[in-house]
Structure 1
Amino acid sequence: MDFGSFLKAPEMKIRIVTYRDIFQDKAMIENRFGEEYRDRSAVIKLDPADLKQLSVKKGETVIVKNSYGTVVVKAEESGYETPHKGIAYMPKSPWSNMLVSDETSGTGVPKFKDISATVTSAKGQKVTELEL
Structure 2
Amino acid sequence: MGFGQFLAAPEIKLKIVTYRDVFQNTAQESSRFGEEYEKLSAVVKLDSKDISRLSIKEDDTVIVKNGFGKVVVKAQKSGYEEEHSGIAYMVNGPWSNALVPDETGGKGVPKFKDFDVTVQGAKGEKVTGIREIF
TM-score, length-normalised on structure 2? 0.95
Deviation at 1:108, TM superposition (A): 2.3
**Could you list the per-position Cα deviations for residues 52-106 of structure 1 after superposition, in whole angstroms to 9, with x for gaps in the alignment?**
1101111110000100011000000000000000000000110001110112123
Alpha-carbon distance between aligned partners in 1 of 2:109 and 2:22, rounded to the nearest angstrom: 22
4+ residue segments displaced more than 3 Å: none
Task: Extract unaligned runs of 5+ from structure 1.
Answer: none
Aligned to 2:16: 16
Deviates more, 1:98-107 or 1:76-85: 98-107
1:55 corresponding residue in structure 2: 55
Residue 96 of structure 2 is matched in structure 1 by: 96
| DSSP 3-state at the match of 2:130 | coil
- The answer for the alignment partner of 2:44 in structure 1 is 44
Distance of 1:103 and 1:13 partners within structure 2: 19
Provide structure 2 residue ranges, at least 5 long, that are not aligned to the other structure.
none
Aligned partner letter, 1:114: D
Any idea what SS the aligned residue of 2:119 has?
Answer: strand
Alignment size in residue pairs? 132
Q: For 1:16 and 1:75, how far apart are their aligned partners in 2?
A: 13
- CA RMSD, 1 decimal: 0.9
- The one-character-per-residue Cα deviations of 1:15-50 (angstroms, maximum 9, x if unpaired) are 000000000000000000000000000000000010
* Residue type of the alignment partner of 1:55: S
Q: TM-score, normalised by structure 1?
A: 0.97
Task: Report the secondary structure of 1:119's partner residue.
Answer: strand
Partner of 1:125: 125
Please give the alpha-carbon distance, in whole angstroms, between the structure 2 residues aligned to 1:55 and 1:89: 19
